[in-house]
Amino acid sequence: MKHQSKLPNVGTTIFSVMSALANKHNAINLSQGFPNFKSDQKLIDLVSQAMNSGYNQYAPMPGSMELREAIANKMDLLYQSSYNPNSEITVTVGATQAIYTIISAFVRQNDEVIIFRPAYDCYEPAIEVNGGKTISIQLNAPHYKVDWEEVATHFSSKTKMIIINTPQNPSGSVFSEADMLALQKLTENSNCIVLSDEVYEHIIFDGLKHQSACKYPGLKSRSFITASFGKTFHNTGWKVGYCCAPKVLMDEFRKVHQFNVFSVNHPTQKALAIYLKEPNNYLELSGFFQAKRDLFLSLVKDSRFNFEPAKGTYFQVLDFSKITQENDVDFAKRLTIDNGIASIPLSVFNDNNKDDKVLRFCFAKTDDTIKQAAAIINTI
């Protein structure tokens, strides 16, 4: 049988590749982003309770109402932004499904979608499989700042969507208020949708404030905000997330969502609804992860790697240009096989695989693992 691939240039994601290599060589795995500690026992118990109480059949298509109400309350508390739980919030299979479904619901053949590189890897294939054209704007190490005048030169009536991600994976950079205002100005009077990937909204450091698109009225009216309970509550394997958007946009999203997954697993939604009602469960996260970032950086500060401290996310980028000139993919694989530490090479997220000689290390790990990893890094 012959068929032409819709995604001829797509292989297996770097996260699967590096995690498999780490497992094969028994390396410390700081590559794929997931915690190696348990999520709160209270939350796990709430899932068992929900299962034992009979929440084992389909959840409502847009998500459990109790969870959507808890999300609406959180958006109100944190950003003074109101979303109607009935019509403006949908629970999804992680942020990944939200992102895929948003793109499928709106992007048509030849529509242009602007993304900033290095970009998280699920955006571009979703654009392409729907016939859209990815317009990449390359940001540069070490600060990954956006030049909004450059963005304006790529923005036109063909721009169906702009995808932003703050705090940003993989660079650990964040958007400032000025960035959000520039985006608001650029898109005003246009039909451009903003997909604001905010999965790391609760992981932001040094007193910086998360700039949610919903805080800016001109952006909110055109934005989907995507979020991930996996990232927030240390259970990436549960794959539960959500998105928020004004009703006119959400109506279109749900037309696709109901045939894409219909609904998300019910007992975890019941548990998350109760757990989310306690703000400290997410408000403490920035401090928790900042301590881990600081531990990691204090331990590797005398290594041959250079760095700018991550401003958010649970990833730290380390520059290895003083160590070797080999390409970052080869270097990351060699470190996994020979030194027993796995990381993610950033070139795979860049335009034409631009290689800035930087690797991403995930510090969502126990302090013991961070210490063992740092000890290896100091020998490289």
Binding site for ligand GLN (CB under 6 A): 13, 15, 32-33, 169
Cβ–Cβ < 8 Å for 85, 172: no
Residue type, 228: S
Query: Which partner, ligand GLN, ligand PMP, none, binds residue 321 by CB below 5 to 8 Å per kind?
Result: none
The residue at minimum Cβ distance from ligand PMP is 94
Q: Judging by DSSP bridges, how do beta strands 159-165 and 112-117 pair with one another? A: parallel
> What's the CA gap between 171 and 339, in Å, rounded?
23
Site string for ligand PMP, 140-159 (x = CB under 6 A): --------------------
Name which of 15 and 218 has its Cβ closer to ligand PMP.
15
Q: Which helix (H) or strand (E) holds 163?
A: strand 159-165
| Radius of gyration from C-alpha coordinates of the chain | 20
Can residue 231 be called a binding residue for ligand PMP (CB under 6 A)?
yes
Select the residue interacting with ligand PMP from 118, 172, 230, 345 (CB under 6 A): 230
Closest approach of Cβ 315 to ligand GLN, in Å?
Answer: 7
Cβ–Cβ < 8 Å for 130, 104: yes
Query: Which partner, ligand GLN, ligand PMP, none, binds residue 230 by CB below 5 to 8 Å per kind?
Result: ligand PMP
Question: Cβ neighbours of residue 71 under 8 Å, at least 6 residues apart?
Answer: 83, 85, 89, 227, 242, 244, 276
Site string for ligand PMP, 237-256 (x = CB under 6 A): ----x---------------
Cβ–Cβ < 8 Å for 140, 133: no
> What's the CA gap between 170 and 159, in Å, rounded?
24
Can residue 228 be called a binding residue for ligand PMP (CB under 6 A)?
yes
Closest approach of Cβ 179 to ligand PMP, in Å?
Answer: 16
Helix, strand, coil % in the chain, rounded to nearest 5: 45, 15, 40
Closest approach of Cβ 326 to ligand PMP, in Å?
Answer: 26
Q: Which residues on adjacent β-strands are paired with residue 194?
A: 162, 223
DSSP label of 238: G
Site string for ligand PMP, 104-123 (x = CB under 6 A): ----------------x---
Can residue 182 be called a binding residue for ligand PMP (CB under 6 A)?
no
By CB under 6 A, which span of 45-53, 142-150, 229-237, 359-367 interacts with ligand PMP? 229-237
Cβ–Cβ < 8 Å for 135, 107: no
DSSP label of 348: G
Q: How many residues does the chain have?
A: 380
Closest approach of Cβ 234 to ligand GLN, in Å?
Answer: 13
Q: Which residues on adjacent β-strands are paired with residue 342?
A: 29
Name which of 33 and 132 has its Cβ closer to ligand GLN.
33
Q: List residues near ligand PMP by CB under 6 A.
A: 33, 94-96, 120, 165, 169, 197, 199, 228, 230-231, 236, 241
